Amino acid sequence: MVSKPRFKLDDQSAITPDLANKALFGDQPDSDPGQLTAFKGQLAIILEIAHSEFVRSVAAGKVIERLAYNLHQLRNQAGPAIWKILIPIAQQHPVQEYLIQDPFTQWSFEKPRGYSGDATLLDIYYQHKSADEIVAAATPLGQEIYAYTSNAASSVAGRERRDILALYVDRVATRNSSAEILSVACGHLRESEKSEALARGDIKRWVALDQDPQSIVTVMENNPADIVKPIQGSVRGLLRRSYNLGTFDLAYASGLYDYLPTKMGAKLLVRCWELVKPGGMFMFANFSDEIQTDGYMETFMDWPLILRNEADMQEIIDAALPDNEIKSRIFYGSNRNIVYAELTRLT
Ligand SMILES: C[S@@+](CC[C@H](N)C(=O)[O-])C[C@H]1O[C@@H](n2cnc3c(N)ncnc32)[C@H](O)[C@@H]1O
């Protein structure tokens, strides 16, 4: 059986698993022992069904679809105090030996870069060519499961997010021939491959900041050096004003707020707002609380996210910015798995 890896703390980061855990599960009261036993029983049945279906070679897509749905329902019914106890129980079940063959599940669970949600994990579900080898190395069953997980609604929404970012960049660059762009927690900056303005060289500078040096090298190798300026830096460094960044027509954070408790998210927004020029824009995205893959992600992928809705996004904005400085729009992507906040700086 695969043992759960030890989580390496990212000491450059203002984001720690402890903070995220607190935001996800809070200080939950003790769970009711009777209820806990009942939910443990339900979990055992769900996992046994999936396990026996894998043993009988039922189509992997069907197995995983049902499993993910059942875990989602169980998570909702159990509530945070009990769900928190169920997560490690699920992770130790023998069905894990099948699920871990999926390169997406495996990368997420094993965390080769030492933290959750690294840019290679995103390449895997972006179906990016750089992940082809990782996918090809998987077993046939693993590839079958991957065909499902990489096309689950949350993965589709992630790819749409990348495309939406490129559209925002292109729109700003069309209005302004010397546009300055900032990506906070840029990962591999895959949206740059979709940007027509970048392909034409119609952007003055695109600063890409991330704490992970491997991601910074990837960004450097894959983008024009005269425009894209990678910086190895962290949210903590940003908050401490450690980098001389200048100001931007568009700044955005994608795949970052999902790890930030509200208070930290608001702090970061205040800081990013200082980097936005009058008339400029800040955008942040967050996986929504309507996703159905949450139970699977938190158990077999060991990838907990802080899920948000429109009101939660508004709460961050209200905590950070005075009304009279902003024009805001909150919207969902096409399958409502990701929610976006677009903030225009009026003054
Ligand atoms: C889920 S990926 C998102 C990558 C990219 N923005 C995208 O949407 O594809 C999260 C990224 O956040 C970066 N990250 C996590 N914590 C960070 C921190 N405290 N400061 C800077 N970057 C951070 C990670 O290194 C990783 O590249």
pLDDT tens-digit map of 119-147: 999 999 999 999 999 999 999 999 999 99
13 lines ligand 1 (CB under 6 A): yes
Indicate if ligand 1 lies below 6 Å from the C-beta of 215: yes
- Give CA–CA dist 56/67, Å, rounded: 15
Residue 31's pLDDT band, with cuts at 50, 70 and 90, is confident
Average pLDDT over residues 286-297: 98
Residue 209 CA to ligand 1 center (angstroms) comes to 9
Looking at the fold, whether 128 and 275 belong to one and the same domain comes out as: no
Greatest CA span in the chain, whole angstroms?
A: 65
In angstroms, rounded to a whole number, what is the distance separating the alpha carbons of residues 35 and 31? 7
Q: Are residues 252 and 340 in the same domain?
A: yes
Q: Kindly tell me the sign of the dihedral angle through the C-alpha atoms of 93, 295, 113, 239.
A: negative
Which pLDDT score is estimated for 347? Answer: 85
Domain count within the chain: 2
Tokens of 34: 């009777």
Q: Say if 3 falls within a structural domain.
A: no
Burial of 305 (0-12, 13-18, 19+ CB in 10 A): buried
Does the C-beta of 198 come closer than 6 Å to ligand 1?
no
**Residue 32 pLDDT:** 84
Nearest CA to ligand 1 atom 13: 185
Among residues 152, 181, 199, which one ends one of the domains? 152
Q: How far is the CA of 233 from the centre of ligand 1 (A)?
A: 10
Residue 102 Cβ inside 6 Å of ligand 1? The answer reads no
5 occurs within a structural domain? no
Cβ of 255 less than 6 Å from ligand 1: yes
Same domain for 159 and 147? Answer: no
Residue nearest to atom 6 of ligand 1 (CA): 186
Which of 153, 155, 69, 62 is CA-nearest to residue 105?
155
Q: Which atom of ligand 1 is nearest to the CA of 117?
A: 1
pLDDT for res 11: 45
Asked if 109 and 211 sit in the same domain, the reply is no
Confidence (pTM): 0.93
Q: Whose CA is nearest to atom 9 of ligand 1?
A: 187
Tokens 């409502």 belong to which residue? 336
Q: 250 has which bridge partners?
A: 181, 281
> What is the residue-averaged pLDDT of the chain?
94
Question: How many A from CA of 245 to the centre of ligand 1?
Answer: 18
Q: Assess whether 223 and 136 both reside in one domain.
A: no
- pLDDT at 9 (0 to 100): 35
Determine the pLDDT at residue 24: 72
Last residue of a domain, one of 152, 168, 193: 152
Q: Is the CB of 14 under 6 A from ligand 1?
A: yes
Going by pLDDT thresholds of 50, 70 and 90, the confidence category of residue 244 is very high
Distance (Å, rounded) from C-alpha 98 to C-alpha 50?
Answer: 10
Q: Whose CA is closest to atom 3 on ligand 1? A: 255
Closest residue by Cα to residue 185 from 287, 302, 268: 268
On whether residue 44 sits in a domain, the answer given is yes
- Sequence-separated (6 or more) residues with CB below 8 Å from residue 216: 208, 210, 230, 231, 232
Looking at the fold, whether 273 and 210 belong to one and the same domain comes out as yes
Closest ligand 1 atom to the C-alpha of 122?
9
Whether 116 and 244 map to the same domain: the answer is: no
Probe target for ligand 1 pocket from 211, 254, 337, with the most ligand atoms within 8 Å of CB: 211
pLDDT recorded at residue 17: 60
In the prediction, which pLDDT does 2 show?
43
Q: Domain range holding 240?
A: 155-345
Residue 307 belongs to a domain: yes
Which residues, in sequence order, are bridge partners of residue 231? 209
70-87 tens-digit pLDDT:
999 999 999 999 999 999
Q: Do 138 and 189 belong to one domain? A: no
Find, among 70, 79, 66, 137, the residue nearest to 104 by Cα: 137
pLDDT score, position 156: 98
Q: How confident is the model at residue 5 (pLDDT cuts 50, 70, 90)?
A: very low
Q: By alpha-carbon position, which residue is closest to atom 12 of ligand 1?
A: 185
**Are 75 and 64 members of one domain?**
yes
Residues 177 and 142 in one domain: no
CB distance 285 to ligand 1 below 6 Å: no
Per-residue pLDDT, averaged over 298-315, amounts to 98
Confidence class for position 25, pLDDT limits 50, 70, 90: confident
Res 44: pLDDT: 98
- Ligand 1 touching residue 210 (CB < 6 A): yes
Sign of dihedral through CA atoms 131, 90, 309, 62?
positive
Contact (Cβ atoms closer than 8 angstroms) between residue 33 and residue 65: no
pLDDT confidence of residue 34:
85
In a domain, residue 27? The reply is yes
Q: Would residue 233 count as lying in a domain?
A: yes
23 and 92 assigned to the same domain: yes
For residue 1, is it within any domain?
Answer: no
Same domain, 111 and 210: no
Check pLDDT > 90 for residue 14: no
User: What string of H, E and C letters represents the secondary structure of 61-89?
Assistant: HHHHHHHHHHHHHHHHHHHHHHHHHHHHH
pLDDT of residue 33: 83
What percent of the residues of the chain are helix, what percent strand, and what percent coil, each to the nearest 5?
55, 15, 30
| Average pLDDT, integer, range 246-272 | 98
Q: Is 117 in the pocket of ligand 1 (CB under 6 A)?
A: yes
Ligand 1 neighbour 15 (Cβ under 6 A)? yes
Q: Residue with structure tokens 């992770």?
A: 91
pLDDT in tens, 84-113: 999 999 999 999 999 999 999 999 999 999
CATH of the domain at 251: 3.40.50.150
> Does residue 235's CB lie within 6 angstroms of at least one atom of ligand 1?
yes
Lateral strand order in the sheet of 205-210: 228-232, 205-210, 180-184, 248-253, 276-287, 338-345, 326-332
Q: For 328-341, how does the pLDDT look when each residue is reduced to its tens digit (9 = 90+)?
A: 999 999 999 999 99
Q: In the structure encoding, which two tokens stand for residue 89, read together?
A: 């129980």
Q: How many CB atoms lie within 10 A of CB 22?
A: 12
| Among candidate residues 152, 178, 200, the one where a domain is terminated | 152
In-domain check, residue 50: yes
Nearest-CA residue for ligand 1 atom 1 is 255
